[in-house]
Amino acid sequence: MQLKPEQLAQHLKKNLAPIYFIYGDELLLVQEAADAIRAAARAQGYTEREVFSVDREFSWQQLTEASNNLSLFAERRILEVRMPTGKPGDAGGKALREYASRPAEDTLLLIISGKLDAQQRKSKWVTDLESAGVGIQIWPVDARGLPMWIRQRMQSLGLQPTGDAVALLAERVEGNLLACAQEIDKLKLVQGTGPVDVDVVTAAVAESARFDIYGLVDSALAAEPERSLRMLNGLRAEGVEPVLVTWALARELRSLAGMAWEIAQGESTGTVMGRHRVWKNRQQLVGKALTRHTLTTWLDLLSGCARLDRMVKGQAPGNPWDELVQLCLRLAGRPLSLTG
């Protein structure tokens, strides 16, 4: 049978299935589903665990032999197969179908796989595994669902976030659930339980690095060229890769160029910022930046960011850090100058 991830916790309170097949490309959610199954198995006496990693050197005969060998030291055991590509090949498909037809006694088979496409999900080995056990497809959390996911995760830890605090955290992690979970855990350690507002999130996230990438972006938006360059130099000194700074600037510039275009069509700045979900504590900063530059300038800055991205990838000549200096100065409103 198939289960949704949110149904797993309730399911694990009952007798366990002989086979669990977890697949998806959202690493954190896949790991947490697997952790929950392992914990439930341990609680029900599965004290021995053997792990197989499917790579070029792996032979599916290893799984067959393991399933045929009864445990000498434990009554129950877990056979865990890690299959990053989701492609077992002909030999693997055959081995998994054979196992599904006769699951080993006192054994739980846990298969952890990467994302499967629609055609793969129709494969006979997949349908046989799900018929004999439980299949759990892990879907990524999209941008619309991320705030709710963040709120629910924080509340499960006893945190009570404001809407703006959730929006800020969602903006900072941009879909990286692993990074988001780490930030939430850090908030719990620093803050304890209780209310969490924007200031608490800002302080906690900023503490993760002396020179914060997002602080650099905000300094440039605030027309503070000297401070922006100090922060940029600090990031470089701390070994931060230029690709990360480029990513943060590109994301901001795409949003600002989009807002500038809508304003140029006659909409009010407040309406546009509301539609783009600019959180309240940042609206003054963004509003002034939108006033300072024209639509043409925003598009030109975005074009410069695209050129910078090619430099970072080695597809265009130039020094990415020098280009970052120029881009930050232009964003801050200082005339472009190689000596300035």
Of residues 238 and 28, which shows the higher confidence score? 28
pLDDT (tens digit per residue) in 163-193: 989 988 887 776 678 778 888 988 888 788 8
Task: Count CB neighbours of 60 within 10 A.
Answer: 21
Question: Do 2-138 and 213-331 have matching folds?
Answer: no
pLDDT per residue as tens digits for the range 267-310: 888 888 888 878 777 889 999 999 999 999 999 999 999 999 89
Q: Is 265 exposed, middle or buried (0-12, 13-18, 19+ CB in 10 A)?
A: exposed
- In this structure, which topology does domain 213-331 adopt according to CATH? Zinc Finger, Delta Prime; domain 3 (1.20.272)
Taking 3-state DSSP, the helix, strand and coil percentages for the chain, each rounded to the nearest 5, stand at: 60, 10, 30
Residues 328, 317: contact at Cβ < 8 Å?
Answer: no
Query: What's the whole-number average pLDDT of the chain?
Result: 86
Residue 205: which of 241, 242, 165, 240 has the closest Cα? 165
Q: Tell me which of 227 and 207 has the higher pLDDT.
A: 227
**Where along the chain do its domains lie?**
2-138, 146-206, 213-331
For residue 169, give the 3-state DSSP assignment.
Answer: helix
Q: What is the largest CA-CA distance in the chain?
A: 76
Say if residue 103's pLDDT is above 80.
yes
Helix axes 225-237, 320-331, angle to 10 degrees: 150
What is the crossing angle of helices 198-206 and 177-191, to 10°? 110
* pLDDT per position as a tens digit, 200-224: 887 776 555 445 777 888 889 999 9
pTM beyond 0.75: the answer is no
Range scoring the smallest mean pLDDT among 50-64, 194-208, 261-275, 321-335 = 194-208
* Fold for the domain defined by 2-138: Rossmann fold (3.40.50)
Name the CATH architecture for the domain at 146-206.
Answer: Orthogonal Bundle (1.10)
Q: Three-class SS of residue 250?
A: helix
Cα 233 to Cα 64, 212, 226, 236, 333, distances in angstroms: 56, 11, 11, 5, 19
Note the pLDDT tens digit of each residue in 322-331.
999 999 999 9
